Amino acid sequence: MNDHLKALEARRFAASLGGGTRRVEAQHARGKLTARERLRVLLDPGSFEERDPFVLHQCSDFGLDDRRVLGDSVVTGQGTINSRLVYVFSQDFTVMGGSLGEAHAGKIAKIMDQAVSAGAPIIGLADSGGARIQEGVSALAGYAEVFLRNVQASGVVPQLSCVMGPCAGGAVYSPAMTDFLFMVEDTSYMYVTGPDVVRAVTQEDISHELLGGATVHSGTSGVCDCTFENDVEALLELRRFFDFLPSSNRESPPSRPTDDPTDRVEPSLDSLVPREPGKPYDMRELLLKVLDEGDFFEVRPRFARSVIVGFGRMAGSTVGVVANQPAVLAGCLDSDSSRKAARFVRFCDAFNIPILTFVDVPGFLPGSEQEHGGLISHGAKLLFAYAQATVPKVTLITRKAYGGAYVVMSSKRLGGDINYAWPTAEIAVMGSKGAVEILYRGDKGDPDLLGRREREYQARFANPYMAAARGLLDDVIQPRQTRQRICRALATLRRKDLITPRRKHDNIPL
């Protein structure tokens, strides 16, 4: 090997060592992989091509001129996941705690720009102590450069984040602006102000985990979409998740061969809805029986559980699923579930993914807590998202579809393309008890009469045929044929094209 080649290899080797053996061991001792090890799990073997391995920071304040590591504190580049191109950055905690300075930000910005022009997704693996304190405002400006690109890439290429260590201060906003955010349990946390500041300002004593750990963000705040036990599980699931997504807004969702027949009949669905109207059942069962091979990737499974959202496939192609869950809050839409579903619908629409909506919703959740928490605005987000979505929309009402919640859940006149109902569907302004109490206030003292009136109302409205008679349903179908009918509907909608009027952007009620 000549000297030039040797020098190159020596540099490359030095860059691959990151912060050195001692810090790598410390990383492993915490149960975390290093930045490069993570990329090895995430990407197809041998596919990673690194960018900027020789970048050095240019700061000499606070002794930083003695602390230069090749590549600085982030590993960036491109690779493939199941042969599809993806751009990646993986923050290296072994180099100054993965802190972000000008050079680090510049590397991320460069691959984000390349991803957008190549029309390929971006995956960021976050593990960083935040803005590099020694670099001062240059570090903050670096964040701004990344944030700007997050926004510019939004709706152009899918952006995914996996938080695998600390993520604090304004740094949280980059992952928060990406389309989906995963976290690793016990080793990752996200917050705008950490426990020390919280203590100083509010006297509240709280740990990193309780303030911003994976459990909090997946169950309480809804900031995080999915959590995983460890780095390897998170990265392997990220690969599985990636397979559902198109590479950019210029592409159709990916399609792959399936052995699951599109005309598969599921007789057990005929008895999924219980005879008793108030009895819950698990909507997930319907999803698993209808989607290809029962494969469903649920997003935010622990947050706002009265609505289920996630990805599956029909006839081999990706679909986004939004479904009321009657087993939680009777399937009511509340503020959180409306926001959760709205964001999901908008992602699907931005990336050409058809939306399947499964409806069993008695209404919006009543109560002062919900009203004072902005239920009107949050419910309007979902309404807005559905009405705005131009992708194919297929809706199935299994049981209740009452009032405003019926309208919101991709109803016919809101722009549903194909709207089906099972014979067990009840489509009405409200349930029989509430309706009779309002319509026949004067009969309050006569329970027998009220009971009769309720049964009359029930007989007239607790079925799908009033809606079907007005063309508000395209058909009432046998539950067992659901998969076949939805596959056919999607096939007919494949070339759907809607022209929307020109405008700068809409004004969704944020």
Catalytic residues: 169-170, 404-405
Interacting span for ligand HXC (CB under 6 A) from 105-113, 126-134, 177-185, 303-311:
126-134
Among 18, 79, 97, 464, binds ligand HXC (CB under 6 A): 97
Question: Using the rule CB under 6 A, which residue among 32, 36, 132, 399 binds ligand HXC?
Answer: 132
Smaller CB separation from ligand HXC, 96 or 421: 96
The residue behind tokens 């040797």 is 6
Task: Check residue 166 for interaction with ligand HXC (CB under 6 A).
Answer: yes
Residue 85 DSSP SS3: strand
Least CB distance from residue 140 to ligand HXC, whole Å? Answer: 5
Q: In one letter, which amino acid is 65? A: D
**Least separation in angstroms between CB 175 and ligand HXC:** 12
Give the shortest CB-159-to-ligand HXC separation in angstroms: 17
**Rule CB under 6 A: is residue 326 a binding residue for ligand HXC?**
no
What residues pair up with 475 in beta bridges, in sequence order? 420
Residue 389 and residue 349 in contact, taking contact as beta carbons nearer than 8 Å? yes
Position 169 contacts ligand HXC (CB under 6 A): yes
CA dist., res. 327 & res. 17, Å (int): 51
CB of 334 to ligand HXC, least distance (A): 32
Taking the C-alpha atoms of residue 330 and residue 475, their distance in angstroms, rounded to an integer, is 25
Token pair listed for 459: 């007989």
Query: Which of 109, 146, 149, 114 has the alpha carbon at shortest distance from 130?
Result: 146
Nearer to ligand HXC, 24 or 55 (CB): 24
Six-digit token pair at 382? Answer: 């979902």
**What pairs with residue 85 in β-bridges?**
80
- DSSP secondary structure letters along 258-291: --S-TT---GGGGGTS-SSTT----HHHHHHHHS
State both tokens at 61: 């304040």
Does the protein bind ligand HXC through residue 99 (CB under 6 A)?
Answer: yes
Residue 133 near ligand HXC by CB under 6 A: yes
Site string (26-45) toward ligand HXC, x via CB under 6 A: --------------------
CA distance 331 to 279: 11
CB of 127 to ligand HXC, least distance (A): 9
Count of residues near ligand HXC by CB under 6 A: 15
Q: Does 20 bind ligand HXC (CB under 6 A)?
A: no
Residue 140 binding ligand HXC, by CB under 6 A? yes
Query: CB-wise, 26 or 459, nearer to ligand HXC?
Result: 26
Pairing of strands 393-402, 317-324: unpaired
* Residue 130 touching ligand HXC (CB under 6 A): yes
Helix (H, G, I), strand (E, B) or coil at 149: helix
- Contacts for 369 with CB less than 8 Å, ≥ 6 apart: none
Among the listed ranges 42-50, 169-177, 295-303, 484-492, the one in contact with ligand HXC (CB under 6 A) is: 169-177
393 contributes a contact to ligand HXC by CB under 6 A: no
Do residues 126 and 97 touch, judged by C-beta distance below 8 A? no
- Name the site residues for ligand HXC (rule: CB under 6 A): 96-97, 99, 129-133, 140, 143, 166, 168-171
